[in-house]
């Protein structure tokens, strides 16, 4: 028969791991108590005990288990933060819709976000309306790269950065759209990859 303390330790670890899989952060002591039915004072005592014996790392509200540590090492949390126009510029409010974990082996390390492409100005680059575009967050880009750029007074747009002499401009990969000369814009990141749903035959 398991000792009651051992059973409670396992329940707390299991709850923390399940919480991390959904929320990608640590639960508070009160959330653990509410989720497991273990009194808060007991939860706090057991967290300290597990930290002392090396079962977890517990610093303030941060609880790191073997599972969450391994997940942090092998995956990167990436927020889906709305739409980016692939057409005419439009103002967009940045709002995280969802957080997904992507493997480091596929995207590398760094800070990333995902955007829903909207419009048809980048179809020549293989980016269609509705695609999810993975963006690596950075403030610099080289001519030839596809970038998310914020144009002052206009909003965000997804275009290819090009250079003609000393002049930089944003180039749509669709001949029905005009180039956008860069007079006042801010690079927010570069496109790394795209994801789209495959169409079923006959649809």
Is 62 marked active-site?
no
Cα–Cα distance measured from residue 160 to residue 149, given in angstroms and rounded to the nearest whole number? 10
Q: List the one residue out of 180, 135, 133 whose CA is nearest residue 155.
A: 180
Is 159 marked active-site?
yes
Strands 180-181 and 185-195: unpaired
Q: Give backbone dihedrals phi and psi of 170, rounded to 5 degrees, phi first.
A: -100, 125
3-state secondary structure of 27: coil
Q: Which of 62, 121, 137, 193 is catalytic?
A: 121
Buried b (16+ CB within 10 A) or exposed e, 21-44: eeebebbebebbbebbebeeebbe
Q: Which of 62, 159, 197, 201 is catalytic?
A: 159
Residues with active-site annotation: 121, 159
């Amino acid at each position: 028969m398991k000792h009651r303390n051992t059973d409670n330790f396992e329940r707390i670890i299991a709850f923390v791991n399940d919480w991390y899989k959904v929320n990608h952060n640590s639960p508070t002591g009160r959330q653990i108590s509410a989720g497991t039915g273990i009194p808060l004072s007991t939860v706090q005592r057991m967290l300290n005990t597990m930290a002392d014996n090396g079962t977890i790392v517990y610093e303030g509200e941060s609880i790191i288990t073997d599972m969450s540590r391994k997940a942090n090492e092998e995956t990167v949390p990436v927020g889906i933060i709305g739409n980016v126009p692939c057409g005419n510029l439009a103002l967009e409010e940045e709002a995280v819709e969802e957080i997904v974990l992507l493997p480091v082996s596929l995207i590398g390390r760094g800070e990333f976000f995902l955007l829903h492409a909207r419009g048809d100005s980048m179809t020549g680059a293989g980016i269609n309306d509705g695609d999810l575009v993975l963006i690596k967050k950075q403030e610099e880009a080289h001519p030839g790269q596809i970038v998310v750029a914020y144009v002052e007074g206009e909003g965000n747009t997804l275009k290819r950065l090009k250079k003609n002499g000393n002049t930089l401009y944003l180039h749509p990969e669709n001949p029905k759209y005009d180039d956008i000369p860069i007079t006042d814009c801010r690079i927010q990141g570069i496109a790394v990859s795209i994801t789209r749903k495959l169409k079923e035959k006959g649809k």
